[in-house]
Structure 1
């Protein structure tokens, strides 16, 4: 979702239609966040240059198919204005639509935790007590930050527009400077040594598979233009902005990853603290490179946190207005702030933040869980595109099928662990669905919905047992 435009729209209450450049900026702003600063280490832990090139080719093609899906749906179903959530509901019914809304919201909340972990890890380079963002002190300070932002947003979001103007520049400049300097300092022999991967990397397939959740995380936001499609000046601009924004960001992400292999041995990159982009640049240009990237990251991440918190609360608010969530989540203050939804958003982020204390790698845990929670909503949207295309539009059907297969592969790549942990979060959320149905005087579940409920509860129970017995770990 848009970081700059969305915030300003909420501040001004404007009904002005959005142009193609503005919509494209929304997509770029949605995707460029904390993830890109962590890419060097995350990829170096899994694969070398060859695997990285294949991984980006797979991820780029798959995500491009998803981008085309959002482009096609924006044109074919202009009556659906809430993006992923609306597509899932229209295609597969209210309960799975609820799951999509909840999953999308939960992924935003967990994603927000990665921001705080990364901020604390960055500061931890000069304050060892913060560790890698996973110490008790780091969690306490992050919790203070969570609730300070809650207080700020609860008062209204007048401050958001000014913050996000700064964020737009703070995000892009350090990344572009990093790529340019990395090309200048690139060592061909180091790049060649990293080409096939290190001893600790498995088969090429395993290397590629291990990077998939990281690519999902950095591409979250590709649906940004579709979420606000009803504000577009021209409906076809939504799809164009999605494709233009995606291609721009894809080039940036792939460049950051590949050029890093030419600066340091991948085994050393894999051991860097996050944000690893700062460590890679420091290795080449000295301390000022690390400071430059770190300052840009903190400003960027704080702005991203503000915008994604607003977005997460908005998802619950809109779902409540559509009677897919309890009515209390549809309440807003005179300043148009959905405070009950904001409270739930902050509470879930707080819970996940505490859970990171028990994780072996707090940042990667939160990153992978964010990606895993998003996969079910994306799979439902792609599946809906298959139904919309039918047999009459062969090109659109091919794109939708490829997007569906890619998303299903991502769920496989995520592994059973993250699927079960996702269901532990999904299953209890059904209480909100039941509350909404009772408010409407309706039966809680249809026979088909009851099957989905049974599957989700069974998965959650297995996940809890697996965690308790140590079969899986965080």
Structure 2
């Protein structure tokens, strides 16, 4: 790390977590959940997701304490536990998934503006893409001026964007109607069972929880190692409380079917139904601040992941370059070029926001699974523990439960999104071959690596075929 790079305080690291988690997803929760389930299913979904993500957050926390030398976060744990290729897949999946997530922010910003200016449509018109492109590069050049400056801005924006969410919750709470809530409780006119309802919400919960690992990704900037764990847990608790309330309270205001039919961002449409047009304007302004702040956070995280992977030889060394301000400039350029290309591709998408949301979640599941499995691995071996202490036993249980949860998410996400992930993972492996060639190192160090690449290649071919035949709609 360049000597010009300053460290981040505990408050700034917490703001990175909260800022990363509160973005586009929370403003779309009312419609997204209402389209799948009622309050009963939503409560079960949040219990599963909240418990699972809490376990995962605790795994990040104890890994930060037990493995302080692994300061690159998500992918470093996968590499340490399962080898170079697994580490690469984790880094690439997390990076490209985060890039796709950033695209969803631009789509939602333009969709929000589309409610007032029809030229933006649903966020994927020519004008919307052009304006988003300008925004991408404005953020790019601001971040190039310094990570510390961007982190300080993010801290202010994080505070600002929580305010409209709190106002929304207070207003909706005062409009609470028990008879409406009771009618919606089991899903109203939904005919599918509770299990299927809950399953349909799982990828959404992954998306809104992304960012929980933000402090871990930026652990090399932490003033004290324990600040990483504090920021992770604190951010998780703050955001989970807000998301549960944003999901459940709307069921007591309008029938589930009405909420499910609202335009995104549904939080704006719902507040408009309660207090009038000014409610939509108020939430829309809050969303713009929130999403732009989240975009800033994720731009930093994207570049940091790619830079850290290059620094350890898991990505081509060109991405390890820093500018005079200590910013990973080459990684930032690569990140924003990819984001720009995906933004352009949304022009041909039927429902760009939903596609970006689900694909971001799917790409993040493999990295999260590998982190949980590595936590299980080191606790089982008692690495970093003096003996069979209660702390080790506690962490072992946390890691096992986190692993089970991430496996369930892969199942709940469905085969289609696993195949779409392979469409990105397989060609992305060319970066791994490039990095290995630079080091004159064998491409694979384990027989299983070739098997994984083979499966990814098969998934690529199947994915292309399904897209071409319309089985998968993008």
SS in 2 for 1:261: helix
Q: 1:160-171 alignment to 2 at 5 Å?
A: 160=150, 163-171=153-161
Q: Corresponding residue for 1:449?
A: 449
1:281 shift after superposition: 0.7
Q: Secondary structure at the match of 1:264?
A: coil
Q: Do the aligned partners of residues 15 and 155 (structure 1) sit closer, same or farther apart at CA in structure 2, a change above 3 Å counting?
A: closer
Deviation at 1:414, TM superposition (A): 1.0
Inter-CA distance 271–105: structure 2 relative to 1 (3 Å threshold): same
8 Å CA contact 2:111–2:122 kept in 1: the answer is yes
Aligned to 2:404: 405
- The corresponding residue for 2:42 is 52
Moved more, 315-324 or 327-336: 327-336
The corresponding residue for 1:390 is 380
Question: Which residue is 2:413 aligned to?
Answer: 414
Cα distance change, pair 350–231 in 1 and its aligned pair in 2 (3 A): closer
Structure 2 residue corresponding to 1:375, chosen from 356, 365, 389? 365
CA shift for structure 1 position 279: 0.8
Relative to 1, partners in 2 of residues 1:237 and 1:202: Cα closer, same or farther, differing over 3 Å?
same
**Range 298-307 or range 116-125, more displaced:** 298-307
SS of 2:470's equivalent in the other structure is coil
Q: 2:192 aligns with which of 202, 205, 216?
A: 202
Equivalent position of 2:134 in the other structure: 144
Q: Does 1:363 align with 2:362?
A: no
| Alpha-carbon separation, structure 2, partners of 1:97 and 1:201 | 43
Equivalent residue, structure 1, for 2:470: 470
Equivalent of 1:319, from 274, 298, 309?
A: 309
Q: Whole-Å Cα distance in 2 between the matches of residues 412 and 287 of structure 1?
A: 41
Determine if contact 2:107/2:124 at 8 Å carries over to the other structure.
yes
CA distance in 1, matches of 2:216, 2:22: 17
Please provide the CA RMSD for this pair: 2.1
Deviation at 1:159, TM superposition (A): 6.0
- Which residue is equivalent to 1:108? 98
**Any unmatched runs of 5+ in structure 1?**
1-8
Residue in 2 aligned with 1:4? Answer: none
In 2 relative to 1, CA 45–185 (structure 1 residues): closer, same or farther, beyond 3 Å?
Answer: same
TM superposition shift of 1:200: 4.2
**SS of match in other structure, 1:335:** coil
Q: Which residue of 2 aligns with 1:424?
A: 423
Equivalent in the alignment of 1:235: 225
Cross-structure match for 2:5:
13
Query: What do the CA deviations read for 1:426-474 (whole angstroms, capped 9, x no partner)?
Result: 1111111111111111122233322221111111111111111222222
Write out per-residue CA displacement over residues 348-379 of structure 1, whole angstroms, 9 at most, x where no aligned residue: 21232233233332111101111111100000
Match of 2:338, SS state, is helix
CA contact (8 A) 1:174 1:293 kept: yes
Of the structure 1 ranges 395-404 and 94-103, higher mean CA displacement relative to structure 2 is found in 395-404
The answer for unaligned runs of 5 or more in structure 2 is 382-387
Identify the match of residue 78 of structure 1 among 58, 63, 68.
Answer: 68
Q: For structure 1, which segment, 92-101 or 244-253, has the greater mean C-alpha deviation from structure 2 after superposition?
A: 244-253
Q: State the Cα distance separating 1:388 from its structure 2 match.
A: 0.6
Q: Whole-Å Cα distance in 2 between the matches of residues 234 and 157 of structure 1?
A: 18
Q: Deviations along 1:85-125, whole A, 9 cap, x unmatched?
A: 11111011011101111111111100101110111011001
Contact 1:11 1:157 in 2 (8 A): no
- Of 247, 251, 276, the match for 2:241: 251
**Is 2:298 the partner of 1:305?**
no
Equivalent pair of 2:268/2:284 in contact (CA under 8 Å): yes
**Equivalent position of 2:385 in the other structure:** none
Match of 2:79 among 83, 86, 89: 89
TM-score of the aligned structures, taking structure 1 as reference length: 0.93
Q: What residue is the counterpart of 2:384 in the other structure?
A: none
1:35 aligns with 2:25: yes
Question: What's the TM-score, normalizing by structure 2?
Answer: 0.93
Given that 1:11 and 1:158 are in contact with CA atoms closer than 8 Å, whether structure 2 keeps it comes out as no
1:247-280 CA-to-partner distances (Å, cap 9, x unmatched) read 2211110001000111111111111111111111
For the residues of structure 2 that align with 1:145 and 1:196, how far apart are their CA atoms?
A: 42
CA distance in 2 between counterparts of 1:57 and 1:148 reads 39
Aligned-partner Cα distance in 2 for 1:130–1:332:
36
User: 2: CA distance between counterparts of 1:233 and 1:138?
Assistant: 40
1:283 counterpart (249, 253, 273): 273
Please give the alpha-carbon distance, in whole angstroms, between the structure 2 residues aligned to 1:320 and 1:138: 33
What's the CA shift for 1:135? Answer: 2.5
Give distance in 2, aligned partners of 1:233 and 1:159: 16
